Structure 1
């Protein structure tokens, strides 16, 4: 009689091998699902909300820095996701109204124009979403930015100063999106993502980019010697001028003044060179010097230049330099943000004072506190739109390279107020 034990013994390695192969295959499927490029789009399930009429005062605190879109939504940026919530005056962040997530690409920048929200990603993708629904309006391949997410915990720099992503309005009224990357500069039609022009400029040589209310893109050619500002028409990409201030040194810096989201549609700018700063109106064909914008502390709202000095704030006309009004406060205050018709001051005692920037009349004043401060804080990024002000709270003694736990002054670092 033939023994069965030998047959079983011979089959056992085969069974083990098959089991091992099945296990490897299962792991491969899991790894593919986890690591394969993917995106998840969750669109709005409710109707588009009405604008909010919020009560004056502190609204609440948030973990992330909001970009307020159309006066109805708050849009946030994280490492791999752009998302919106509502209402604008909710005390904390809410369940997403819509969200868009990608993997393994990282979010580089977010800008909004009207009800269009455009996100830029580390693989170069540009994705435009309809703020009203969260649906994708268009998607194009853009120049890779050469870096990943750098917004820290709050995403403030990703939302408020997105590198190389600038909305613009051409002289014909066309909405344009300017994108700057390693392979050059491109102009896209903001409505459909269609490329309008492309200029083969080394993106790594571009610095200080902004778009003007006169329909031009201004960048500094940082590789030129001496450095020079270039003006391109935002609708055609045509080089209009290469310009530098008289008596400028070899290096040239640009700072936007009075702009919209992402340094867009700026009526003015400030140059810096050889230790000297100068203000310029750029709403015309050529820059026009404006001495009242020379001080680095000066900000702009419309035709009003606002300059703080200790307890005093002086408003002057950018057209003729005449003094419009002057205010002396109870204690020193800094300008943290400006929006159309309003200038927002923050005192050392963390009182937020909002003035009518045209007349100097006080609109509101209240402590910018939420009862959750655990350390002394100083303002970081500040942003204002649609009557709201958002301010990052940074730990007073934290160095710039501190980790997020030590860098921020509260567990919910962003405080939101209605003015």
Structure 2
């Protein structure tokens, strides 16, 4: 004996509604915006002082924070491990994840790690605990122009549209730029200091200066480099480089990290074989011909070049030779950081010199395990005495997939210098 036809239809309808409700709850729980914060449970590690040499190899690019942690970027997660001189990646010390937004950039100032997300959200974390310090809204990031590689190097070493500026009064400003807007946010508490609208598609920020200015390039008409006060957002200087025109490329030099707190820049037009070097200060940039050659680097007040196996440091202002170091063979300037210049020889030896006087600080084969030295350098980061480099498979194929592009699964090599 079954249900009457009308009751059977009623029961079927109720069951269908319940099924839909259950599916809706499941979908909401899975797809609804959410964040998961896993804070640190162990002690904050002491600053590491390892002896010069290769420390180890990692699958992802580390951002060295406070000389104590390595911070990494995943698709929808920012996380840290310890110790900073660990041979391999370890279990996360802390982790922060958002859904469905994607992580687009990470910077660090002291013990504050700021992450930027595809919906424009800014989230600052305490490096010592992983706890959220503040949240703020920023402009939506500009559309990515390059393919995101698996190491996350572009996200943590040179995040586009995310820069730090140190002000004379000791404050640190986070400069956040999108396609049509830029904002200045105080790193200590997330307070917005200013916001400005930008001409769509023809203006972009490329870095900050050590004097607390934002470097922007305006290509709406004759190419112009703008310098904006990082404390107020007001444009203080507009400058047209002599090699300006459509296709002008502006590359910051001598930066503290990524493209933040830079002391120089190089400008190049579409027809230039190299470019022109400039020193940054108050007002318009000053010409620095010693920075013109491709491959010249700026370390503090010293311009460093390598030719015929000899590294030479010159005053960036006067051009006068200050020091030289020979016996390198074919080599290139790999990276610079405060007080140090890092050179890579043809046989992949890492040579570190004091940037002020050229004294040798360390020299060793830049390899680990049985990986060998038959690789080409990719993205590089140098900070707090450490150097991290992506190792690429020869011949380098920029269009190849990650398996073809990188040397190994643990392709990032980390060294203390």
Q: Same fold (TM over 0.5)?
A: yes
**Shift in CA distance, 397/247, structure 1 to aligned 2, threshold 3 Å:** closer
Structure 1 residues 407-416 or 171-180, which shifts more? 171-180
**Structure 1 partner of 2:232:** 236
Quote the residue 1:171 is aligned against. 168
Cα separation, partners in 2 of 1:19 and 1:330, compared to 1, 3 Å: same
Matches of 1:247 and 1:25, distance apart in 2: 64
CA RMSD of aligned residues (A): 2.1
Question: Aligned residue for 1:182?
Answer: 179
How far off its partner does 1:159 sit?
0.6
Q: CA deviation at 1:19?
A: 4.7
Q: Secondary structure at the residue paired with 1:406?
A: helix
Residue 261 of structure 1 aligns to a residue in which SS? coil
For the pair 1:132 / 2:128, whether they are aligned, the reply is yes
Partner residue of 1:204 out of 201, 225, 239: 201
1:193 aligns with: 190
- Alignment partner, residue 397 of structure 2: 399
Q: CA deviation at 1:203?
A: 5.1
Residue equivalent to 2:319: 321
Q: Which residue of 2 aligns with 1:301?
A: 299
Matches of 1:374 and 1:290 in 2, distance apart? 39
Q: In 1, distance between residues paired with 2:4 and 2:332?
A: 84
Matched, 1:42 2:38: yes
User: Is 1:81 paired with 2:96?
Assistant: no
TM alignment of 1:404-415, pairs within 5 A: 404-415=402-413
Q: Can you give the 5+ residue segments of structure 1 that lack an aligned partner in the other structure?
A: none
- How far 1:367 moved relative to its partner? 1.4
Instruction: Give me the whole-angstrom Cα distance separating, in 1, the residues matched to 2:5 and 2:404.
Output: 62
Offset from partner CA, 1:305-337 (integer Å, 9 cap, x none): 101124221110113211011122242112211
Offset from partner CA, 1:314-364 (integer Å, 9 cap, x none): 110113211011122242112211111111111222211112222222211
Where 2:275 maps in the other structure, the secondary structure is strand
1:63-102 to 2 correspondences below 5 Å: 63-102=59-98
1:366 match? 364
| Mapping 1:380-399, distance limit 5 Å | 380-399=378-397
Structure 2 CA distance for aligned equivalents of residues 376 and 20 of structure 1: 63
User: Contact between 1:379 and 1:394, CA under 8 Å: does it hold in 2?
Assistant: yes
**How high is the TM-score relative to the length of structure 1?**
0.93
Deviations 1:239-292 (A, max 9, x none): 112111235444422111111223111111111124151111112233111111
Aligned equivalent of 2:56: 60
In the alignment, the residues of structure 1 paired with residue 154 and residue 33 of structure 2 have an alpha-carbon distance, to the nearest angstrom, of: 25
Q: Distance in 2 between matches of 1:233 and 1:20?
A: 61
1:191-245 per-position Cα deviation (integer Å, ceiling 9, x unaligned): 111111111112532235111112211111022x211111111111111121112
Moved more, 299-308 or 272-281: 272-281
SS in 1 for 2:21: helix
1:262–1:361: structure 2 CA closer, same or farther, 3 Å change rule? closer
Query: SS of the counterpart of 1:53?
Result: coil
| Alignment match of 2:336 (pick from 317, 330, 338) | 338
CA 1:239/1:330 → structure 2, altered by over 3 Å: closer, same or farther?
closer
CA contact (8 A) 1:54 1:418 kept: yes
Structure 2 residue aligned with 1:158: 155
Which residue of 1 is the match for residue 283 of structure 2? 285
Q: Is the 8 A contact 2:205 2:214 kept in 1?
A: no
For the pair shown, the structure with the greater C-alpha radius of gyration is 1
TM-score by length of 2: 0.93
Further displaced range: 61-70 or 258-267? 258-267
SS at match of 1:336: strand
Give yes or no for contact 1:188–1:197 (8 Å, CA) kept in 2. yes
SS at match of 2:95: strand
Relative to structure 1, is the Cα distance of residues 34 and 234 closer, same or farther in structure 2, using a 3 angstrom cutoff? Answer: same
Aligned length: 414
More displaced 10-residue stretch of structure 1: 133-142 or 325-334: 325-334
